[in-house]
Amino acid sequence: MKRIAPLALGMFAIGLDAFVLSGLLPGMADSFDVSLAAVAQVVTGFTFAFALSAPLLAVATAKIGRKKLALYSLAIFAVANAASALAPSLWMMVVVRVLAGAIGGVYSPAAIGTAVQLVPPEQQGRALGTVMSGLSVSTILGVPVGVLVGTQVGWRAALWVVVGVIVVAIVAIASLVPSVGALPAPGLRERFSVLGDGRVLVRMFVMFLYGVAQMGLVYTFLPAILKDSAGVSEKSLPVYLLIAGVASFVGNALAGSRLDKGASPKTMLGAALAAVAVIIAVFPYGAFNAVAAGLVILFYGFAVAHVQLPLQYQLMRIVPEHTSIVISLLNSALYLGTAAGAAVGGAVLAGASTTALTWTGAAVVALALAISAALRTQDVPRSAAPAQPTSANTPADATS
């Protein structure tokens, strides 16, 4: 897996860039002399572009070798982040963040396509896990560190840190990852045809609602929520993000273990959504001081880790022949929800308090819970398993 580790570093940079700005919005608003609601469009532009680019640009770049595409996308990503750090105005910042989001959506399938070609079929699960671990590490260590740099030196400095990580990833991939060719990729029609399956579509909608509430309405505005409820300063924010990240990492590992041992994904998803709804709703009242806020954040991080995995688990068994396609679309649904939630959250915050923000988020999660509870258990075949490639050189849907 040493040849794949540099690809995980690239994923770390993508994750760091995607979430670090959530903790820097207040400083950015002061820098551009605009409201927090207005500067939230920076997050909206990035996430919306990320969501749309993954399925569309994957088709357009299908003939490019996976390693080359990973390097090209990271290089452009570095330029976009440098431009973000230098942006003189809010509208320019939004433009370059849209570019960064679009290119970020290209790197992920390129990295996955490279990883699965470098290992035999029996090791492809570990390969994918290694690549995707970069995102997990970015939330545990990268985001708090990035926010710490941003609050101590400024939000522009935090973006230069991201640029530095990207450059290191480019050098590591170019030096250590072997070249692999392009692979036949499903066409755009085939990628979206799975949405004709109602069992898939309804789960995508659940993920979209979750993205609206948890990522868009709450996580994007977490600094403001913590400040209003517990008086948490920007300089203390990295501690809380670290608590949430570690709790999420532990929760994700436990969720995976429980599913492997036969736990019901529907039951797990329902319990997780119910917990997230309650925690978000009581956030302004439960996080009444710094210590209480830490406990709320701990339970919050643990609960949210149990949402995405059960949905992925179900989809992998509903359409095992298109595993990577549905997972890619599920991520797009999450990012589209995040973009929509950030936009709605900005509007809510402009006319109300952060308490209204959390109550709105709790209501949306409750809607997702109601829909998931109505799903029939028999929709998901128990015996189905994700389709495995027949050869290390011809992995199914490798470029999705």
Residues of the chain with CATH 1.20.1250.20: 1-185, 187-380
Cβ(315)–Cβ(204) under 8 Å? Answer: no
Instruction: Give me the long-range contacts of 279-283 (CB less than 8 A, separation at least 24).
Output: 279/303, 280/213, 280/214, 280/218, 280/358, 280/361, 280/362, 280/365, 281/358, 281/359, 281/362, 283/218, 283/225, 283/229, 283/358
CATH architecture, range 187-380: Up-down Bundle (1.20)
pTM listed for this prediction: 0.72
Three-class secondary structure of residue 304 per DSSP: helix
Q: What is the CATH number of domain 1-185?
A: 1.20.1250.20
* Residue 311, pLDDT score: 85
pLDDT computed for residue 396 by the predictor:
32
> What does the pLDDT read at residue 369?
95
Residues present in the chain in total:
400
Residues 16/46, Cβ–Cβ less than 8 Å:
no
pLDDT of amino acid 58 = 64
The DSSP output letter for 399 is T
Instruction: Name the token pair of 80.
Output: 């976009």
DSSP labels for 211-263? IIIIIIIIITTHHHHHHHHH---GGGHHHHHHHHHHHHHHHHHHHHHHHHTT-
Residue 177 main-chain phi, psi, to 5 deg: -95, 125
Closest CA to 222 of 368, 13, 14, 26: 26
**Dihedral sign computed on CA atoms, order 376, 382, 386, 387:** negative
Mean pLDDT by 10 residues, the chain (400 residues): 83 83 78 84 80 70 77 93 92 91 81 76 63 73 71 85 93 87 58 77 93 87 85 80 82 78 87 94 85 91 86 79 69 83 85 88 95 74 42 32
pLDDT in the model for residue 131: 75
C-beta separation of 349 from 218 below 8 A: no
